[in-house]
Structure 1
Amino acid sequence: MPAIAVIGAQWGDEGKGKVIDLLAEKAGVVVRFSGGDNAGHTVVNPYGEFRLHLVPCGIFYPQAVCIIGNGVVINPAVLIDEIDQLNQRGVDTTRLFISDRANLVMPYHILLDGLEEESRAGKALGTTRKGIGPAFADKVARLGIRTGDLLDKERLLERLRLILDYKNIILTKVYEVSPLSLDEVYNQYCQYGERLAPHIRETTIMLEEALNRGELVLLEGA
């Protein structure tokens, strides 16, 4: 069975969520492969109405393994909130897995997103100010922190210390705002790591094995 990708050909709101929800009923694996929590798919089913920003729509179908791939930038607070809401309404989230190579949206991404928009004055891009653009920029520049880093506190602290020193220079010298606290950011993301650890793993092998078994793999565009 081939993989099927559902993507938008305009600027969003094309109805991808409805198509994905229809196809997910027969999928073995549903993968969110791009974007961040700036996008959202609305799903209405017997569990109720849901607007998912990170969790794949296949989460409502018990046969479907759901993966958030390494092409997604993840705000862990948003993801944990989605998982909690799904659990509270009786949806099984033990089938949700997160690529250990997916990059995280950090507090400085959100802060810089807003500051950059304000600095453009009348030429603002109209971003959601959720830090998505800055997070992708750091991914390309190899300055990102990955979900896998949450599983190694020493590595997380080492990476965060290096990157935050650089980001705080930009915050204080360019935008003249207060620096972010290393301890506060580190402690917060350690807590996120403890919550998300059961879901984080190497997902590439999972996808290869599913395709080799002939399962339908559904790729969910942002």
Structure 2
Amino acid sequence: MPALVLLGAQWGDEGKGKATDLLGGSVDYVVRYQGGNNAGHTVVVGDQKYALHLLPSGILSPGCTPVIGNGVVVDPSVLLSELSGLNARGVDTSKLLISGNAHIITPYNVTVDKVTERFLGKRKIGTTGRGIGPTYADKINRVGIRVQDLYDESILTQKVEAALDVKNQMLTKLYNRRAIAVEQVVEELLEYADKLRPYVADTVLVLNQALEDDKVVLFEGGQGTLLDIDHGTYPFVTSSNPTAGGACTGAGVGPTKISRVIGILKAYTTRVGSGPFPTELFDADGEALRRIGGERGVTTGRDRRCGWFDAVIARYATRVNGLTDFFLTKLDVLTGWDEIPVCVAYEIDGRRVEELPYSQTDFHHAKPVYEYLPGWSEDITKAKSFSDLPKNAQNYVKALEEMSGAPISAIGVGPGRDETIEINSFL
């Protein structure tokens, strides 16, 4: 049985939660392998809408085991609050597993994130201010706090002391802030130990045994390809690897065990935060996409920047992830336009460029080269098969598939769980 990776093929917010939820009833495990509560998924089940930030979307599927892998950074207060909210709505969260090797977002990580971003001023990255980046920095600097450290007070205290030795110098002398007391941080973190204990497990062992037992495991990325720390629009990126390779390191499974990599593509393009965005719209079309598509960040509450579909980015995502399929979402949002522009290449200093520029400078100066496809006015939200779509909508999907370099196996025609056209099964 397959191990699948499902990830965003643009700048995030493509509708990964809906895609994961659609597969949730057919898989045994759903695994978040990177990021933290800076990633948001909206899942609509019937007339109920669920906003998930840290939990895998599979938490909403009975019989599915949701897993937070070692590559995720965990804010315990956010996690417990999210679990409490779902429990209050009758969702069973008892099957959740959390890697003991996942890193903890501490109060001082959040403080450092916020003061650093303010200090950068106009050069700010556009982070969510939730401590994600500083926590990953601590991980790389080997002063991070892991979930398992909550169960050894001596080790926890030593690690907090080591981290604050440097951070308090920075907070007091550079940012004119108060020093943070080691004892206060240790006391706060220890309060989470018993509450998290039922969920903590050796998830690497669990997942590999599951694959050996022919269970279906779905690895769910947060954010998107162009926000990858290595392969995104650096420095306007997240602090982890949402690309397919991140599933191996962030969950502890070998690449030979992954059989399919599914990229989620929105039928247009959006971005939250700072950074280059060649097809961004500043006119009535951009506002219409934002309004009709409900383009507001699940986690941040910020309006998303909106633009037309960018096939250059889609081709890049296909290449760096080794995508086998696309799930195209929000096709219904484009209903009503007489013609729909699609970016097929960039113009950079008078040159036509059909692949993502290697140079950051070139990408900042990239101007979209558009082809115009005929639009449609018919309501497509009730479509159950590809043939139910208007001819122009069919042609739009076929054009995007050809430009992007991988087959489109499913199409979202509305926000609901059942408002999806499945062309080829992912399983």
Give the number of the structure whose residues are more often helix, by fraction.
1
Contact 2:143/2:162 (<8 A) preserved: no
Aligned to 2:151: 151
Distance 1:47 1:154, change over 3 A: farther
Q: Distance in 1 between matches of 2:47 and 2:173?
A: 49
Q: CA deviation at 1:46?
A: 5.1
Aligned to 1:82: 82
Distance 1:71 1:47, change over 3 A: farther
Contact 1:73/1:136 (<8 A) preserved: yes
2:8 partner SS: coil
Q: Structure 1, unaligned stretches of length 5 or more?
A: none
Identity of aligned residues (%): 45
1:17 aligns with 2:14: no
Q: CA deviation at 1:115?
A: 1.2
Tell me the C-alpha RMSD between the 2 structures.
Answer: 1.2
Aligned to 2:226: none
Q: Distance in 2 between matches of 1:119 and 1:132?
A: 17
* 1:90-139 Cα distance to aligned partner (Å, 9 max, x none): 11111001000001111111111111111112111111111111111111
Deviation larger for 66-75 or 167-176: 167-176
Q: Distance in 2 between matches of 1:140 and 1:164?
A: 16
Max Rg structure: 2
Aligned to 2:189: 189
Contact 1:47/1:90 (<8 A) preserved: no
Q: CA deviation at 1:62?
A: 2.1
Q: Distance in 1 between matches of 2:10 and 2:61?
A: 28
Q: Distance in 1 between matches of 2:74 and 2:66?
A: 15
1:109 aligns with 2:109: yes
Q: Structure 2, unaligned stretches of length 5 or more?
A: 223-427
Q: Distance in 1 between matches of 2:92 and 2:171?
A: 41
Q: Distance in 1 between matches of 2:201 and 2:106?
A: 20
Aligned to 1:173: 173
Aligned to 1:137: 137
1:7 partner SS: strand
Contact 2:18/2:44 (<8 A) preserved: no
Displaced runs of 4+ in structure 1, greater than 4 A?
none
Q: Distance in 1 between matches of 2:180 and 2:47?
A: 40
Aligned to 2:64: 64
Q: Distance in 1 between matches of 2:164 and 2:25?
A: 43
Q: CA deviation at 1:47?
A: 8.5
Q: Distance in 1 between matches of 2:143 and 2:9?
A: 30
Q: CA deviation at 1:191?
A: 0.7
User: Letter of the aligned partner of 1:102 in structure 2?
Assistant: A
Q: Distance in 2 between matches of 1:112 and 1:161?
A: 16
Contact 2:30/2:64 (<8 A) preserved: yes
Q: Distance in 2 between matches of 1:122 and 1:61?
A: 43
Q: Distance in 1 between matches of 2:140 and 2:26?
A: 35
2:50 partner SS: strand
User: Letter of the aligned partner of 1:49 in structure 2?
Assistant: K
1:120 partner SS: helix
Q: CA deviation at 1:165?
A: 2.1
Q: Distance in 1 between matches of 2:215 and 2:121?
A: 50
Higher RCO (C-alpha 8 Å, min separation 6): 1
Q: Distance in 1 between matches of 2:71 and 2:47?
A: 28
Q: CA deviation at 1:166?
A: 2.1
Q: TM-score with structure 1 length normalisation?
A: 0.96
Contact 1:17/1:57 (<8 A) preserved: yes
Deviation larger for 20-29 or 179-188: 179-188
Aligned to 1:164: 164
